[in-house]
């Protein structure tokens, strides 16, 4: 393996990990507030579709990204209405969101299959992109990759260093105590869910505007679910999430690497790798139940109705 090959692999890993990172950052905030949204896949698809359709119609990538964020957010607000206001079962509502988002995006995007837009182009950051290996991978990428890294830092600082982060964690750990302290649990959860939705939409737009600039039905192919596993992997901590996203991203391009070094294994078999890796990671992480319980936000998945 020569340096150019290594550089390409690393660069492709970052690109493959970026949508996972964006979506998982949103899910992390959402889950830290105690709401488990299984609808990531549906929101991503809506974001991918809306982003592509908007960018195709207006010719502006910025409008596309904005439309994707809004689409993801609108979907997540539907979810929030069901689970936060109506205290519905979060598992069932999340599944509903995925099924609905898959159907709605396929329906609305039906006329745009096979069309193409000029997607995001890599921008080299002067000097830094000259670094060996890492330069190409992290400093010669498209704008959304940089945005994802900025967002990761922002989420980290928000959770650790701000009052808002403290409020969010309090609501997620013990909504009763937070409520007793005068925090508005439902409002916080609405905001957290909406943030998660916006990020899922953005992650979807990364797929349809940067990764492969086109729209096809169900093009996320399970990335929303992998992002969900990623949050468990990161034990709800943003710094581990960044590492995890690139690990999972690496797993999803492993087939390219293996083909690159001359292994001739069927593409379809190698395409199962990211899912197999996800299961293996889950096994490694969750076989110690105490550890999982210590890290999980305490009220995750529990509906909360403030008593008057």
Partner 1 sequence: MLLLERRQLDSNLFRWLSPVIAISLTLVTAGLIFLAMNRDPIQGLIYFFITPLSDIYGWSELGLKMAPLLLCAAGLTVCYRAKIWNIGAEGHFLIGALGASVVAVQLVDQDGFWVLPTVLLAGMATGAFWAGIAAGLKTHFNCNEILTTIMLNYIALNLLVYSVHGPLRDPFGFGFPQSVMFGDSALLPQLIPGTRLHIGLAFAMLAAVSVWVLFARSFIGFQLNVLGQDARAAAFAGFNTRRLIWFSLLLAGALAGLAGASEVTGPLGQLVPQVSPSYGYTAIIVVFLGRMHAVGIIAASALLALTFLGGEMLQIAMGVPRAVTALIQGLLLFYLLICDAFIQYRLRWRPSALAPAFNRKPGHSLAQEA
**Residues 143 and 210: beta-carbon distance below 8 Å:** no
Give the phi and the psi of residue 260 in degrees, each rounded to 5: -65, -35
Cα(303)–Cα(287) distance, integer angstroms: 26
Q: Which range in 2-10, 65-73, 107-115, 199-207 contacts partner 1 by CB under 8 A?
A: 107-115
Q: Which of 59, 62, 103, 164 binds partner 1 (CB under 8 A)?
A: 103
Helices marked H in 81-213: 90-108, 134-139, 143-161, 163-173, 175-180, 185-206
Single out the residue of 248, 76, 238 nearest to residue 165, CA to CA. Answer: 238
Taking the least distance from each CB to partner 1, the nearer of 32 and 255 is: 255
Q: Which range in 66-74, 128-136, 143-151, 214-222 contacts partner 1 by CB under 8 A?
A: 214-222
Least distance to partner 1, CB of residue 125, Å? 36
Sign, Cα dihedral of 207, 210, 214, 215: positive
Least distance to partner 1, CB of residue 83, Å? 9
Q: Which range in 158-166, 175-183, 235-243, 280-288 contacts partner 1 by CB under 8 A?
A: 280-288
Per-residue burial over 280-294, b if 16 or more Cβ lie within 10 Å, else e, is ebeeebeeeeeeeee
187 in contact with partner 1 (CB under 8 A): no
Residues 65-94 that bind partner 1 (CB under 8 A): 78, 81-82, 85-89, 91-93
**Beta strand extents in the chain (DSSP E only):** 123-124, 140-141
Q: Which of 6, 63, 106, 300 binds partner 1 (CB under 8 A)?
A: 106
Interface contacts to partner 1, rule CB under 8 A: 38, 78, 81-82, 85-89, 91-93, 95-97, 99-104, 106-107, 110-111, 217, 221-222, 225, 228-229, 232, 266, 268-269, 271-272, 275-276, 278-279, 282-283, 286-289, 292, 305, 308
């Amino acid at each position: 393996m020569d340096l150019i090959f290594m550089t390409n692999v690393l660069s492709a890993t970052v690109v493959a990990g970026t949508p996972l990172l964006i979506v998982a950052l949103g899910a992390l905030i959402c889950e830290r507030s105690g709401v488990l949204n299984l609808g990531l896949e549906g929101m991503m698809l809506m974001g991918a579709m809306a982003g592509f359709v908007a960018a195709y119609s207006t010719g502006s990538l910025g409008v596309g990204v904005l439309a994707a964020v809004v689409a993801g957010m609108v979907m997540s607000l539907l979810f929030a209405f069901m689970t936060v206001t109506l205290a519905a079962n979060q598992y069932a509502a999340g599944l509903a969101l995925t099924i609905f988002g898959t159907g709605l995006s396929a329906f609305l995007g039906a006329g745009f299959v096979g069309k193409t837009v000029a997607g995001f182009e890599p921008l080299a950051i002067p000097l830094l992109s000259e670094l060996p290996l890492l330069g190409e991978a992290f400093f010669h990428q498209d704008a959304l990759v940089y945005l994802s890294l900025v967002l990761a830092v922002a989420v980290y600082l928000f959770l650790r260093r701000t009052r808002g982060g403290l409020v969010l964690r309090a609501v997620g750990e013990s909504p009763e105590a937070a409520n007793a302290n005068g925090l508005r649990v439902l409002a916080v959860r609405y905001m957290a869910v909406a943030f998660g939705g916006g990020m899922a939409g953005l992650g979807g737009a990364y797929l349809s505007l940067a990764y492969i600039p086109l729209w096809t039905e169900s093009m996320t192919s399970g990335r929303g679910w992998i992002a969900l596993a990623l949050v468990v992997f990161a034990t709800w901590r943003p710094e581990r999430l960044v590492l995890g996203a690139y690990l999972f991203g690496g797993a999803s391009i492993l087939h390219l690497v293996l083909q690159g070094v001359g292994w001739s294994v069927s593409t379809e078999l190698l395409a199962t790798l990211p899912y197999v890796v996800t299961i293996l990671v889950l096994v490694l992480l969750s076989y110690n139940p105490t550890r999982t319980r210590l890290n999980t936000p305490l009220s995750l998945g529990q509906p909360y109705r403030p008593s008057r």
